[in-house]
Amino acid sequence: MARRRWVLASWIVAIALILPAASRVTRILDVGARVPGSESARVEQLLSTRFSSSLARPAVLVITGGASPATTTGREMLARVTAGLGDLNVVTRTFSWLDVPDSLFIGPQGQTFIVVGLRDSGGRPEELMPLLRDATARLGDAMRLTHPRANLMWTGEIALNYDLRQTSASDASRAERRVLPLTLLLLTLAFGALAAAVLPLVVAALSIAIALGLAVVIASVWPLSLILQNVVTMLGLGLGIDYALLVVGRFRESLAAGLAPVDAARESAIHAGRTIALSGASVAIGFMALLFVPVSEVRSIAVGGLLVIGASVLLSITLLPGLLAMIGHRVNWGRVGGRRTQEASIRWRRWGVFVCAHPVAVLIAAGLPVLLLAMQSMRLSAELPSGDWLPPSMESTRGLHALEAMERSGIVNMVRVVVELPAEAPWDSPAGWSAIRTASEELALDPRIARVRSLPTATGLHVPNLQLIAALPPALQASLVSPDGRFALIEVMPTELAGQRGAMEIVREIRGGRASLTGLARSKILVGGLAAFNVDYEAAIGDRFWSIVAAVVGVTMLALLAAFRSALIAAKAVALNLLSVAAAFGAVVVVFQDGVGLRLLGMATPLDGT
């Protein structure tokens, strides 16, 4: 009795300490993925440390429904917007038609956009979006007094990251609210008692809350991605309920056999607890292997999975038996459908007898559909999907669509080529200048590239003219070359037809031919930007896929051998596990790539990548 009270008291203290942190999960977790040590990460670091550009952290504000900036009214309107943004202390500068009257800034219906540089405040740039949107809401209200259809929309990587964070958190919360009542109903029908049905839900809810709280603590020293929240919610509901079902079911069976509540709780903890611990260890092995993938999202999935598995196992084998011992026979409170529950139990028993009596027939009938589904996994496309798959309710998605209507979406998908020059040939030397110009001209020949911007192309100079360069706007020079003369930036904007996949192909080809791009010995080429990140992301996962599968299968096999002392049982479990995973991938192909039942999930068209 004393030990049980200590266990309960320990859990109460732990839950009281951890739960408050769980409420901060959406503010702490990082929505953007990272590939540490990748080439795109290196470019991002160079742009923020070696260049003194005030546009190093850009956001894009799209303006539609107003007057064209090529008109007097449009210029005045644009000037008021840029002045309003400039008053914000988080804005370093704005770049628009007012700075460079380039046709790039004007769409066919007079749409325009502003590139807004954001100050490095030490936190994530996404945290600035509420302030920016408050400002543009006021500016938009003023614009609509004279232009009722005027609309201001933030887009770009920063705005998309912020909106995805909010949408993901909202969807996860809404999913929980929908699933929990339905799950309670099903558990009540299964157990035939409301009290017994509530306990698995309590374990699942506590598992999720504890895992999220611990994730917040870990994220303070090791950045974690927001995808962790969805993984924790999904696994917490599944494993938490599953493990608790084993304990509660065993407890009720022991009570029905005549055991006292304390003895029944001990019996359930011993027998069900061993199964739960073995199951949790097997699942944890797979998540541990994901820690070796150098992608922040994948490692966050691993951390979230390990946390919620650990919480579900510990709650099910320690807290739950203690609660059951205290509740005793009241676990059967709120009985519903007693006769129907008994009849259902009899029917399941008959089904079990039938399966054991006809194993071959059942194996063929159940195995063939699973096998056919698993075969579809061979058609799985692991590439980034093209087309429109972002949530249409997000402002940043609408802003991106507005840029696409202007044929300017390449602005948010810019490929950034950094040229590292040798010490004896800085960018303002004839050799360095020629190297940058040669690379720019070579890239401009690609029909998939709409524009190339570098200091030589911006000035039109074939040789460096220091007097003319000194007369340029300081911001232009600062954004394209480094103060120490060693680095130069070439911005490459893909065409609309190229799309995301075309931009990724451009990145791969630049990297493949970088040795001859500048024509200058000992110069180096690094490629960054969103498309380059996607290339690095795919490579980081794809290069390690089969080694991770082999490691998971091998370690799982050893763990099952140690637990069951039977090679046949271990091999069967691993084989069925692989088959179920393949069938799951096959289901992804059938639903998301082939489009079977896709509209039931709220999606209009199939994806060509997953």
Query: Using alpha carbons only, what angle is made at residue 141 by residues 139 and 144, rounded to the nearest 5 degrees?
Result: 110
Helix/strand/coil for 321? helix
CATH of domain 2-30+185-336: 1.20.1640.10
Q: Helices (H), strands (E): how many in the chain?
A: 22, 8
- Supply the pLDDT for residue 40: 93
Q: Give the Å distances, CA to CA, from 423 to 426, 437, 484, 487, 523.
A: 6, 18, 10, 10, 10
Evaluate if residue 99 carries a pLDDT over 80.
Answer: yes
Intrachain domains 2-30+185-336 and 407-540 with the same fold:
no
- pLDDT for 426 equals 94
Q: Which helix H or strand E contains 170, and what residues bound it?
A: helix 157-191
Which pLDDT tens digit goes with each residue over 277-314? 988 998 999 899 999 888 888 999 999 999 999 999 99
Task: Give the residue with greater pLDDT, 6 vs 72.
Answer: 72
What would the DSSP string read from start to end of 230-272? HHHHHHHHHHHHHHHHHHHHHHHHHHHTT--HHHHHHHHHHHH
Residue 446, both tokens: 């690609």
- How confident is residue 2, by pLDDT bands cut at 50, 70 and 90? low
Q: What is the 3-state secondary structure (H, E, C) of 565-609?
A: CCHHHHHHHHHHHHHHHHHHHHHHHHHHHCCCCHHHHCCCCCCCC
Helix (H, G, I), strand (E, B) or coil at 94: strand
C-alpha to C-alpha distance for 62 and 70, rounded to whole angstroms: 16
| Other residues' Cβ atoms within 10 Å of the Cβ of residue 414 | 19
The whole-number pLDDT of residue 328 equals: 87
Express each pLDDT in 518-558 by its tens digit: 989 999 999 999 899 989 988 888 888 888 888 888 988 98
The single residue listed with the structure tokens 């107003």 is 66
Q: What is the mean pLDDT of residues 450-464?
A: 91
294 in Cβ contact with 222 (< 8 Å): no
- Tokens 């039931």: give the residue: 600
CB 345 within 8 A of CB 190: no
Proportion of the chain above pLDDT 90, given as a percent:
44
Stretch among 59-63, 418-422, 513-517 having the lowest mean pLDDT = 513-517
When pLDDT is cut at 50, 70 and 90, the band that residue 505 belongs to is: very high
**DSSP bridge pairs for 116:** 59, 94
Percent of the chain with pLDDT over 70: 97
Digit-coded pLDDT (tens) for 429-456: 999 999 999 999 999 999 999 999 999 9
Give CA–CA dist 29/144, Å, rounded.
36
The arithmetic mean of pLDDT across residues 166-188, rounded, is 81
Q: What is the pLDDT of residues 556-566, one digit of tens each?
A: 898 888 888 88
Fold classified for 58-119+123-155? Alpha-Beta Plaits (3.30.70)
Q: Which of 251-260, 471-480, 487-496, 524-533 has the lowest mean pLDDT?
A: 471-480
140-154: pLDDT as tens digits: 999 999 999 999 999
**Which tens digits make up the pLDDT trace of 333-358?**
877 765 555 666 678 788 888 888 98
Q: Which two tokens stand for residue 450?
A: 């709409």
Q: Is 315 in contact with 280 (CB distance < 8 Å)?
A: no
Distance from chain centroid for Cα 137: 28
537 touches 295 (CB < 8 A): yes
Residue 14 and residue 325 in contact, taking contact as beta carbons nearer than 8 Å? no
pLDDT at 1 over 50: no
List % helix, strand, coil for the chain (3-state, nearest 5).
65, 10, 25
User: Where do the structural domains in the chain lie, given as residue ranges?
Assistant: 2-30+185-336, 58-119+123-155, 407-540
pLDDT at 344: 62
Task: Give me the residues paired with residue 93 across strands.
Answer: 117
pLDDT of residue 342: 62
The answer to whether residues 190 and 337 touch, using CB atoms and an 8 Å cutoff, is no
Residue 447 DSSP code: T
Q: How many CB atoms lie within 10 A of CB 23?
A: 12
- Residues sharing a CB contact under 8 Å with residue 163, sequence separation 6 or more, in sequence order: 391, 394, 395, 396, 397
CA 377 to chain CA centroid, Å, is: 22
CA separation for the pair 249, 546 (Å, rounded): 39
Residue-averaged pLDDT of the chain: 88
Residue-wise pLDDT for 187-241, tens only, equals 887 777 888 889 999 999 999 999 999 999 999 888 888 889 889 988 998 999 9
Dmax of the chain from CA atoms?
A: 97
Token pair of 87, please?
């008053």
Looking at residue 140, its pLDDT comes to: 94
SS3 392: coil
> Across the beta sheet with 112-118, what order do the strands follow?
91-95, 112-118, 58-64, 151-155
d(CA 250, CA 502): 57
Provide mean pLDDT across the span 177-186: 83
| Beta bridge mates, 451 | 493
Pick the CATH number of 407-540 from 3.40.50.970, 3.40.50.10440, 3.30.70.1430, 1.20.272.10: 3.30.70.1430
Asked whether the whole model's pTM tops 0.75, one would answer yes
The secondary structure element, H or E, covering residue 151 is strand 151-155
Task: Report CA torsion sign: 357, 360, 363, 365.
Answer: negative
Average pLDDT over residues 458-486: 87
pLDDT in tens, 118-129: 988 777 788 889
Of residues 386 and 486, which shows the higher confidence score? Answer: 486
Q: Read off the pLDDT of each residue in 69-83 and give the average, rounded to a whole number.
A: 94
Structure tokens at 175: 């999913």
Q: Per-residue pLDDT for 583 more than 60?
A: yes
Residue 387 pLDDT level (bands cut at 50, 70, 90):
low
Q: At what angle do helices 320-327 and 2-22 cross, to 10 degrees?
A: 120
Residue 339: the pLDDT is: 59
